[in-house]
Structure 1
Amino acid sequence: MRPVAAFKAMISLDDGMLMRGAFYLLLAAAATFVVLDVKDITEAEAARPSLEPAPELPIFLPPKGEPGVRGAPPVQPLTPEEVLRKPMTFSLVKGGVLHAEGTIDPGAAERFSREIEARGEYIKIVSLDSPGGSVDDALAMSKLIREKAIATNVGEKALCASSCPLVFAGGITRSAANNAVVGVHQVFNGGIDQGSPEQAMSSAQAITARVARHLDEMGIGAGLWIHALETPPNQLYYLSPAEMSEYRLTTDAIGVVGSSDG
């Protein structure tokens, strides 16, 4: 081969090697970017809040049993247990009645506030069917109900227990069916680490004081809260229609008991 031809062949060979080298370099770079992208996506997915359902709230449902059996309610609530254990939902029905059904989960007050903001002019009564739940959310809902001058109701064989009566107390007028199941017990932060026994006691006393003050502001008689303090959190004290009237938890249709302005 002539020197010139050999030189050109070497140049062509070098060009081919350079091209392949550049190609493999780009391929390696692309693979690196893919790995980094996958890593970023994986980390983002790991950081994203889990869509798993929240742990079941520590709520107490009335035990099954005929009236008269120890711990049994005067009548069995009509709503199935699996529905009562679900996070609270709101549905507007005829007559301006907003039906609030299910557990008062953390966040229920925020959803309730949005519901009131969206449909406030149509809502005349909040009808409750709940085993209770978050005390903070119950207090917030109750205050908003009183602020908006909405009535509250517990219907036929509906349940309003634990923190639910706090919501009920917010009604500008309040009514309960004769066979409604309304029960109270000690408030508690089940499942929440309160630290030392002293800290747990302090927290319980602070919650108790908030609840007592709220009921007083709503015009509810102190006797109601005494029954709650005397009843362990794994039991319910069921209020009779006469007791609800005596403690002003229920009102008549005329006038306002315990309005926010005194």
Structure 2
Amino acid sequence: MKPATALKAMTNINDGMLMRGAFYLLLAAAATFLVIDIREISEVEAARPSVETVPDVPTFLPPKIAPDAPGAPPVKPSSPEAVLRKPMTFNLISGGVLYAEGTIDPGAAERFAHEIEARGEYIKFVALNSPGGSVDDAIAMSKLIRQKAIGTKIDERALCASSCPIVFAGGVTRTAEKDAVIGVHQVFNGGIEPVSPDQAMSSAQAVTARVARHLDEMGIGAGLWIHALETPPDQLYYLTPEKMAEYRLTTNAAAVVKPNQG
């Protein structure tokens, strides 16, 4: 091979190696930036609070069983489970109705108090649609409703279960529309830390006493809480309109409870 031909061949080889090297370098750089971008996106998503988070508190949704089976709700609640499982939200709608929907998560009472403080003069009723949740928050909300002389209501096919009736009991007037799904059972405040059987029993008794005392202060008949105590936490005792009237959980159109009375 002539020297000029050999030199040209070597030049072509070097150019090809340089081009391949540059290509691989760019590919490696692109891969590095991609990894960094994915990591940053993952960190942002992990730090972002999810609206789908289910609060770590006891709630109760009616079981998926035949409507005529023992323990079945009288009708199927209209709201999807995904909506009921979300932390409670508050929306003021027409007619001075504050619509409270979702699980009574820890902190719900504080958010509720902020709503009352900001819009109290416009709120005439609190409409509930909830599977229950935090007993402490339910009692606090109920007390504030009574203090502010606000009525409570449960719309047709709305759900008010577990600790939700505690909130409902605070209304100076209490109305349940036809086919409202209202149920009670044994309630407790769940904790993350494991406790001994004696501690669990003591806690359950303390919560039971607090709820019973509060319902008595709200003027609710003792028979309602007896049904709750007789019903396991994974079941509901559904209240008929007759039972709600008997235990004074609902009031008639003419009855208005004074804020400082049950």
* CA distance, structure 1, for counterparts of residue 210 and residue 132 of structure 2: 16
Counterpart of 2:193 in structure 1 is 193
Counterpart of 2:232 in structure 1 is 232
Counterpart of 1:206 in structure 2 is 206
Query: Tell me, what secondary structure is at the counterpart of 1:114?
Result: helix
* CA distance, structure 2, for counterparts of residue 65 and residue 77 of structure 1: 13
**1:71 to partner: Cα distance:** 2.1
> Which stretch shows the higher mean deviation, 173-182 or 54-63?
54-63
Q: Which has the larger radius of gyration?
A: 1
**1:190 to partner: Cα distance:** 3.4
**1:218 to partner: Cα distance:** 0.2
**1:68 to partner: Cα distance:** 1.7
* CA distance, structure 1, for counterparts of residue 109 and residue 199 of structure 2: 26
Kindly provide the amino acid, as one letter, of the partner of residue 254 in structure 1.
A
Residue ranges of structure 2 left out of the alignment (5+ in a row): 1-42
Counterpart of 1:153 in structure 2 is 153
**What is the RMSD computed on CA atoms of the aligned residues?**
1.9
Q: In the comparison of the two structures, how many residue pairs are matched?
A: 215
State the TM-score, normalized to the length of structure 1. Answer: 0.78
- Report if the CA contact (8 A) 1:130-1:164 is conserved: yes
Aligned-pair identity (%): 73
Kindly provide the amino acid, as one letter, of the partner of residue 241 in structure 2.
P
Residue ranges of structure 1 left out of the alignment (5+ in a row): 1-44
* CA distance, structure 1, for counterparts of residue 79 and residue 49 of structure 2: 27
**1:204 to partner: Cα distance:** 0.6
Which residues in structure 2 correspond to 1:100-249 (within 5 Å)? Answer: 100-193=100-193, 195-249=195-249
**1:207 to partner: Cα distance:** 0.4
- Report if the CA contact (8 A) 2:189-2:207 is conserved: no
Counterpart of 1:23 in structure 2 is none
* CA distance, structure 2, for counterparts of residue 56 and residue 152 of structure 1: 26
Kindly provide the amino acid, as one letter, of the partner of residue 157 in structure 2.
K
CA deviations over 1:90-114 (Å, ceiling 9, x no partner): 0011000000000000000000000
Query: Tell me, what secondary structure is at the counterpart of 1:91?
Result: strand
* CA distance, structure 1, for counterparts of residue 258 and residue 208 of structure 2: 20
* CA distance, structure 2, for counterparts of residue 180 and residue 255 of structure 1: 20
- Report if the CA contact (8 A) 2:57-2:189 is conserved: no
- Report if the CA contact (8 A) 1:219-1:248 is conserved: yes
Kindly provide the amino acid, as one letter, of the partner of residue 188 in structure 2.
F
